[in-house]
Structure 1
Amino acid sequence: MSVLARASGADPVAPSSGRLSAWRTVLFGIQHVLVMYTGCVAVPLVFGAAVGLDKSTIAVLVNADLLVAGVITVVQAAGIGKLLGVRLPVVAGASFTAVNPMILIGQQYGLSAVYGAMIAAGIFGILVAVPFARLLRFFPPIVRGAAVTMIGLSLIGNAVTMIFEGRPPDGTRLALAVGVIVVIVALMRYGRGFFAQSAVLIALVGGTAVAAACSLTDFGGVGAAGWLGLPNPFRFGAPEFPIAGIVSMCLVMLVVFAESTAYLLAVSDYAAEPMDSGRLARGLAADGVSAAIAGCLNSFPDTVFAQNVSLVRLTGVLSRAAAVVAGVLLVLLGLVPKMGEVVASLPGAVIGAVSLVMFATVAGVGIATLARADLGRDDNLLIVSLAVGIGMVPIVSPQVYEGLPAAVRIVLGGAITSTVLVAFVLNLIFHHIRAPRLRRRAAPVTAARAEEARV
């Protein structure tokens, strides 16, 4: 149980207990969706704008994105026997790690090459899930703690952007965002049971009501949205498979695996669920399946979503059934554009404030993971310091890597990818690769030295 949940008197339910009532399961599933929705749909919005797609085509990408995320969420939470799914209370969503490589491939080879490379990367992910999972010992707390901490820190800027919706800062939106955060903190501190566990949902609903009273909401697009939006496979033509694009997306797949590994281990530790290599492999294989399906449906590779990991930690609600409900709701949002438009119309100040709490909690989860490592040792302290320091470079100075080749920018140009790489490599150097022993040549023993030794 988290410190916040303990302080609030919340009574989290273990993933395997199934003791949540039906209405609570649905509400907690809705809470999961509202927390991750904006981050999930941001991926197709950013990608579509970068490659010059029109609004109607971007809307198709959004629907496909939600549909695939919903399917993979159900697979991850419920599992398909011992074939796919980690069977933990996690929610999947489109990974930002893939956006820049997809844009580069699209600009160089076209959109059919983007999705062809994604299909190939998905198959690659399925094939390497088992061997990758066997590398579990190379992801100790020092590595995954640094990765999760950087994920939280790197996303906070996105939350601030959401609050002001790309406009200059103004007092009304700032006050509304602060109010939403205060409500979450108050409910987590003084609420009991359901009220503490539903703090985020209550803050979302209350904040939206206040925003409507302040004329900060716009649900005008709901009426124009359709009731049914079926997937349109291979919308951009038959997939193409350029070698450079495939290599780039396979690298992305490995980084997605590293992200998901850090999150799955964090949730596993928190839920007191043992994580062996077989179970982790099933979770990673689901990520690979998401990329293969996404390549066919014009969507994006999925990973375990940071916001929902922090929501589990914050509220103490460990129900896999709630995650399954969230997956079903995402499928419905993908198939019914009108429903998706309702969620998309929630005020940015409210969604941004909630996201700020979630992203900050992600960083907190990473710090808590780092606390399990012995940071009193100089080698561990150096690993985390360099990993986080180098990871901050593309955040504080993104132009540093602009002149490098595209393949290098894929790895180093992202805060998360560079942090994972540095932490992983330094951990290998300090803890797994034996340092060569330097042989010293014996100095000749002179009469003077012999006399000094006797003295």
Structure 2
Amino acid sequence: MVDAPITQTLEKHPVDEILPAPKMFVYGLQHVMSMYAGVVAVPLIIGTALKLSGVELTYLVAAGLFMSGVATLIQTLGFWKIGARQPIVQGTSFAAVSTMLTIGTAKGGLDGLRAIFGALLLASVLAFFIAPIFTKLLRFFPEVVTGTVITVIGISLLPVAITWAGGGAGAKNFGQPTNVGLAAITILIIVLIYRFLPAFLSRVAILLGLVLGTVVAIPFGVTNFSKIGDASIFQIVTPFHFGLPTFAVGATLSMFVVMLVIMTETTADILAIGEVIDKPADQQTVTNGLRADMGATALASVFNGFSVSAFAQNVGLVAITGIKSRFVVAVSGVILVFLGLFPVLGALVNLVPLPVLGGAGLVLFGTVAASGIRTLSRVDFGGNANLVIVAVALSMGIIPIAVPTIYNAFPGWFTVVFDSGITAAAISAVLLNVLFNIVGRKEGTEGPIFSEAPPIASISDEDEERLKSEASRRFDAGDSRE
């Protein structure tokens, strides 16, 4: 007896599913819209701080979009042992902004930009090769470290947004009511979008705030349309467009610390997206994803872009939409590459007046700080160890933000490292975490931080029920009095 042929149908996992082209484009465009503002913000921050010309700034924005697209394709499609092959959107990372500003403004202009690219190139190449080791050292980067660092990232960027809201450093009309008013209107627009518009539009609230804020600013004469005429319609992104990078030990060390922070954030995103798509990431997947992160950053430094990393907001978008296909996100990468090849599109972004950008920046950078606080909310503060780690690391990070000149008398290498609040906080948090939580830790041996202070109180579930009962009785008593 001959058995009938058995046809085995191997169903693809949703992450490897290829959807119809129209759906792929729409879903991919949705990813781009939710992260576009974050990608263009970093080139605008760096280019404006270094006082680049309109043409140079436009090119920088286009390069940022182009490299974000390339990085997304590397991460989603993958090759060899590079790329997590997950639906992860890569974009320009905010984590390195503070450090890049410190490195760049030390020289200024194109010299500062070349110094940034040099530090990025060396630091990312080194991080690429240690990726397999890093995935085995994650215990040195728990939430108490990453939460503190992310919080300082947001705090360190807020002064930049405040300066923009006033009209820009050195502006003759700095702090005028018109400038501050435009920033306030932009914030109001963003808040109203978040509160009242559908979820999809709320995810691009920053971008819509920039667009509508710019429209509101037109009657006040602060929008310069001549920038569009300076930009070419089509332009190939070429290696070392701004000149060969320059290298310095202090700048590279400072940037390498930032690479470790970015790798920590990307690891968290890879693990999170693995849960969302029902395909948990193993150690090899994380390692491959980190290689893609650092390899793309090294490539970006050659092609005039900045550090790239996984965008957490797009992880949330995958969870909300339920679209798990990595090829949808690959389409997002193609769209970003397309946008980067047309600098005139970057020039449209460059129309945004500084006060409007400052208003959006306050929300955007404040959100980064709030994300760090949310991470810290998951930390166990039952004893004093983690409290001390956060307290000291935050203080070290805020020192150069509050008093930028405090390290002026120190050697140059020290200044480059510790003038960055993010770097100072990261080094402090990692070392303190090792001291308190890893080396020779003994449970139950922590003493009070202030010997005369009472222990920190907490509200238990029983307390909440009792308080609710008390509130109900007071409410009833009030009714009877009426």
1:58-111: per-residue Cα shift (whole Å, max 9, x none)?
66555444432332244345555752257354442163224434666899x999
Contact 1:104 1:406 in 2 (8 A): no
1:210-242: per-residue Cα shift (whole Å, max 9, x none)?
2224433222211231122223334577777x6
Offset at residue 426 of structure 1 (A): 0.6
Give the corresponding residue for 1:147. 149
TM-score by length of 2: 0.72
Query: Quick one: structure 1 residues 170 and 111, their matched pair in 2 at CA, closer, same or farther if it must change by over 3 Å?
Result: closer
CA distance in 2, matches of 1:215, 1:339: 22
SS in 1 for 2:83: coil
Give the corresponding residue for 1:377. 383
SS in 1 for 2:92: strand
Contact 1:29 1:324 in 2 (8 A): no
Offset at residue 24 of structure 1 (A): 5.6
Contact 2:400 2:420 in 1 (8 A): yes
Offset at residue 158 of structure 1 (A): 1.8
Give the corresponding residue for 2:418. 412
Which one-letter code corresponds to 1:83 in the other structure? I
Q: Report the aligned-residue RMSD.
A: 3.8
Q: Which residues of structure 1 form unaligned runs of 5+? A: 1-13, 437-455
Which one-letter code corresponds to 1:302 in the other structure? S
Query: Quick one: structure 1 residues 275 and 247, their matched pair in 2 at CA, closer, same or farther if it must change by over 3 Å?
Result: farther
SS in 2 for 1:194: helix
Q: Does residue 1:26 correspond to 2:26, yes or no?
A: no
Offset at residue 142 of structure 1 (A): 0.8
Aligned counterpart in structure 2 of residue 348 of structure 1, from 354, 368, 377:
354
Q: Does residue 1:302 correspond to 2:307, yes or no?
A: yes
**Superposed, which structure 2 residues align to 1:147-186 within 5 Å?**
147-166=149-168, 167=171, 168-186=174-192
Offset at residue 145 of structure 1 (A): 0.7
Which one-letter code corresponds to 1:84 in the other structure? G
1:173-226: per-residue Cα shift (whole Å, max 9, x none)?
333333332333333333334344443344333323222244332222112311
Q: Does residue 1:279 correspond to 2:279, yes or no?
A: no
Q: Does residue 1:230 correspond to 2:236, yes or no?
A: yes
Which one-letter code corresponds to 1:304 in the other structure? S
Offset at residue 34 of structure 1 (A): 2.7
Query: Quick one: structure 1 residues 316 and 295, their matched pair in 2 at CA, closer, same or farther if it must change by over 3 Å?
Result: closer
Give the corresponding residue for 1:124. 126
CA distance in 1, matches of 2:437, 2:91: 32
Query: Quick one: structure 1 residues 101 and 181, their matched pair in 2 at CA, closer, same or farther if it must change by over 3 Å?
Result: closer
* Segment of structure 1 superposing worse, 126-135 or 112-121: 112-121
Offset at residue 127 of structure 1 (A): 0.8
1:109-168: per-residue Cα shift (whole Å, max 9, x none)?
999887666544333221112212221122111111111111111111222223333141
**Superposed, which structure 2 residues align to 1:258-269 within 5 Å?**
258-262=261-265, 264-265=267-268, 268-269=271-272
CA distance in 1, matches of 2:355, 2:383: 42
CA distance in 2, matches of 1:262, 1:69: 17
Query: Quick one: structure 1 residues 214 and 235, their matched pair in 2 at CA, closer, same or farther if it must change by over 3 Å?
Result: closer
Offset at residue 29 of structure 1 (A): 1.3
Which one-letter code corresponds to 1:75 in the other structure? I
Contact 2:75 2:85 in 1 (8 A): yes
SS in 2 for 1:400: coil
CA distance in 2, matches of 1:103, 1:216: 26
Give the corresponding residue for 2:83. 84
SS in 2 for 1:92: strand
Give the corresponding residue for 2:259. 256
Offset at residue 18 of structure 1 (A): 9.4
Query: Quick one: structure 1 residues 311 and 237, their matched pair in 2 at CA, closer, same or farther if it must change by over 3 Å?
Result: closer
Give me the identity figure in percent. 29
Which one-letter code corresponds to 2:45 in the other structure? A
* Segment of structure 1 superposing worse, 210-219 or 79-88: 79-88
SS in 2 for 1:75: helix
Q: Which residues of structure 2 form unaligned runs of 5+? A: 1-13, 443-482
Query: Quick one: structure 1 residues 54 and 25, their matched pair in 2 at CA, closer, same or farther if it must change by over 3 Å?
Result: closer
Query: Quick one: structure 1 residues 192 and 164, their matched pair in 2 at CA, closer, same or farther if it must change by over 3 Å?
Result: same
Q: Does residue 1:75 correspond to 2:56, yes or no?
A: no
Give the corresponding residue for 1:212. 218
Aligned counterpart in structure 2 of residue 221 of structure 1, from 211, 227, 231:
227
**Superposed, which structure 2 residues align to 1:46-61 within 5 Å?**
46-47=49-50, 49=51, 61=60
Contact 1:219 1:345 in 2 (8 A): yes
Contact 2:32 2:336 in 1 (8 A): no
1:227-265: per-residue Cα shift (whole Å, max 9, x none)?
22223334577777x6xx257425513322213413652
Give the corresponding residue for 1:443. none
Give the corresponding residue for 1:4. none
* Segment of structure 1 superposing worse, 190-199 or 365-374: 190-199
SS in 1 for 2:237: coil
Query: Quick one: structure 1 residues 379 and 294, their matched pair in 2 at CA, closer, same or farther if it must change by over 3 Å?
Result: same
Query: Quick one: structure 1 residues 106 and 173, their matched pair in 2 at CA, closer, same or farther if it must change by over 3 Å?
Result: closer
Which one-letter code corresponds to 1:407 in the other structure? W
CA distance in 2, matches of 1:200, 1:88: 23
Which one-letter code corresponds to 2:66 in the other structure? L
CA distance in 2, matches of 1:290, 1:214: 41
Give the corresponding residue for 1:336. 342
TM-score by length of 1: 0.76
Q: Does residue 1:39 correspond to 2:42, yes or no?
A: yes
Which one-letter code corresponds to 1:32 in the other structure? M
**Superposed, which structure 2 residues align to 1:287-298 within 5 Å?**
287-297=293-303
